[in-house]
Amino acid sequence: MKIFKMICFVTAFFLILPACAPKKDARFPLGTVEIEALGGGACGAPFYIAAEKGFFENEGINAVLVSGTFETNKAGLSSGKYPIANGDFQFFPSVNEGLDIKIIGGLHQGCIKILVPKDSPIKEPKDFKGKRIGVDEIGGTPMAVTSLVLANAGIDPTTGAQWLPYPLDQLTTVAKNGEIDIIAAWDPYATLAEKEGYRVITDIATDPLFAGKYCCFLYASGKQIRENPKRIAAILTALQKASDWVADNPQEAAQIIIEKDYLPGEDPALIAELLTTYKYGHKHNVISNEDTTKKDAYYFAQELTKTGYLPKDLDAKSFIDNAYVDIFKAAGIEKQEHSDAASH
C-alpha cells in the first residue's frame, strides 16, 4: 500500500511540474539578448532610444544594454554572446583574420574629433609624428580614426606615435597636465573639449577623409545569424525605427538620453545638436542602404591597407562582399521601410 501511494505521489508530481515551470514571457518571443552599447558615446543614440521607447520590445526582443570594451564586444560577437554591435572599421582586421562577425548595415556619419590644447604647436596631422595621443582604449574607434589620419599624413600609426589609454572623462585633464599632446575622442567628450578651448585638428564630420561616409557600421554575430537570423533582423528593424525616431525628434531624444544617464552632462541642447549632425534615419537612407554601406566599407578597407592594419594587396571589394550579409534576405523577410516610424 505504501509503495502504491508513493507511485501515485511521484506520478502526480511530474504531472503538476510542467504547470509550475516558468513560462516564457509572451512579450518577447525572440528572447532576451545582451547588447554592449553603454560606451558613453552619443552615437549610440538609436540603441538608447530603442530601449527607452519600446522599439526592441515591439519586435519581440528583451534587450539588456551592457557596458564593456572593444575587446569584450569583439569577443562577445564572435562567440555569439552578443547579437549585434555598433562599431567602425576597427573590426575589419579581425574579420580579415577570420573572426566570425558580419557587417549588416551603416549607422550614421561623424562622431569623433582629434584635438590639441589651444596653445599647442601642433597645427596639422603631419605634426602628429612622435607625439603622445590619448584615446579611450587601445584598438577602439578613436584610435582607428586617428590611425587613418596618421597614415594619410605619411606617418606609420604603429611606430610613428605613442598611444596612451585614459578614461574619456580624463582626457582633457591629462592633456592639461602635459601627459599627452593630442586627444582623440568620441562625442560628447570631444565637443565638450572643443567648448573648453581645445583646437580641432580633425572632425570626421567635415574632414575630406571621412565626410559624407559612415563612421559607424552595424555588425552581427555570425553564429547568431546562422542560428537565428530572424532575431538579428528584428534587432536591426528596432534600430531602424529608433534611428528614424532620433532623426525626427533630436531634442526629445537628447532629453531622454541625458535624463536616463546614458551620457554625461546637463546640456540636452548640445546632444540634440550632435544628433542632428550625425544624419540618422530614413532621411539619410542609413542602416538599410546596402549600396551605401558597401561603398563606404570598401573605401575604409582600402584606407586601412595604408595603415598596415590590413594587407597592402587586399582586394577590398571581395573582402567586404564576403563580410557583408543582407540579414533580411538571410531571415527570409521582405525589407521594410520605416519612414513612418518616427511619428509613432
Q: Do the domain assignments include residue 228?
A: yes
- Among 101-110, 162-171, 180-189, the range scoring the smallest mean pLDDT is 101-110
- The total number of structural domains that make up the chain: 2
Closest CA to 153 of 117, 177, 122, 112: 122
Which pLDDT band holds residue 110 (cuts at 50, 70, 90)? confident
Q: Are residues 257 and 334 in the same domain?
A: yes
Where residue 229 falls among pLDDT bands split at 50, 70, 90?
Answer: very high
Banded model confidence at residue 322, pLDDT cuts 50, 70, 90? very high
115 burial level (CB within 10 Å; 0-12, 13-18, 19+): buried
**Which H helix or E strand runs over 257?**
helix 250-259
Provide the grid cell at 114: 582629434
The answer on 220 and 89 residing in a single domain is yes
Per-chain mean pLDDT for the chain: 87
**Looking at 174-188, 209-223, 282-296, 302-316, which range is the least confident one?**
282-296
Q: Which is more confidently placed, 5 or 260?
A: 260
Quick one: 192 and 217 in the same domain?
no
Residue 112 has phi, psi (to 5 degrees) of -135, 140
Q: Which domain CATH number covers 157?
A: 3.40.190.10
Domain finish residue from 179, 203, 227? 203
Same domain, 228 and 331: yes
- Give pLDDT tens digits for 9-58: 444 444 444 444 445 678 899 999 999 999 777 888 999 999 999 999 99
pLDDT value at position 286? 58
Burial of residue 160 (CB within 10 Å: 0-12, 13-18, 19+) is middle
Q: Is 236 inside any structural domain?
A: yes
Task: Give the pLDDT confidence score for residue 283 in this predicted structure.
Answer: 62
Distance CA 28, CA 96 (A): 35
Question: According to the model, what pLDDT value does residue 342 have?
Answer: 37
A 10 A CB-CB count for 261 gives 8
- State the average pLDDT over residues 319-328: 95
Question: pLDDT exceeding 70 applies to what percent of the chain?
Answer: 88
Residues 157 and 306 both lie in one domain: no
* Strands across the sheet containing 214-221: 84-87, 214-221, 101-109
Instruction: Look at residues 203, 226, 250 and tell me which one is the last residue of a structural domain.
Output: 203
The per-residue pLDDT for 7 is 45
Q: Of the ranges 7-11, 158-162, 184-188, 292-296, which one carries the lowest mean pLDDT score?
A: 7-11
What does pTM read for this prediction? 0.83
Query: What's the pLDDT score for residue 9?
Result: 46
Kindly tell me if the per-residue pLDDT of 181 is higher than 80. Answer: yes
Q: Which of 11-25, 73-87, 96-110, 284-298 has the lowest mean pLDDT?
A: 11-25
**pLDDT score, position 10:** 43
Question: Cis before residue 125, ω within 30 degrees of 0?
Answer: no
pLDDT tier, 329 (very low <50, low <70, confident <90, very high otherwise): very high
The DSSP H or E segment spanning 222 is helix 222-227
Quickly state the pLDDT bin for 5 (edges 50, 70, 90): very low
What is the average per-residue pLDDT within 248-277? 90
The answer, yes or no, to whether residue 1 has pLDDT greater than 60, is no
- 11 is a domain residue: no
Q: 203, 223, 247: which is the final residue of a domain?
A: 203
Same domain flag for 77 and 131: no
- Whether residue 248 is predicted with pLDDT greater than 50 in this model: the reply is yes
Q: What integer pLDDT is reported at residue 281 of this predicted model?
A: 77
Answer yes or no: do 222 and 91 share one domain: yes
2 pLDDT band, cuts 50/70/90, is: very low
Tens digit of each residue's pLDDT (9 = 90 or more) over 288-304: 578 888 999 999 999 99
Instruction: With respect to residue 7, please indicate whether it lies within any of the assigned structural domains.
Output: no
Considering the domain architecture, whether residues 101 and 218 belong to the same structural domain is answered as yes
User: Could you tell me the residue range of the domain that residue 225 belongs to?
Assistant: 32-110+213-343
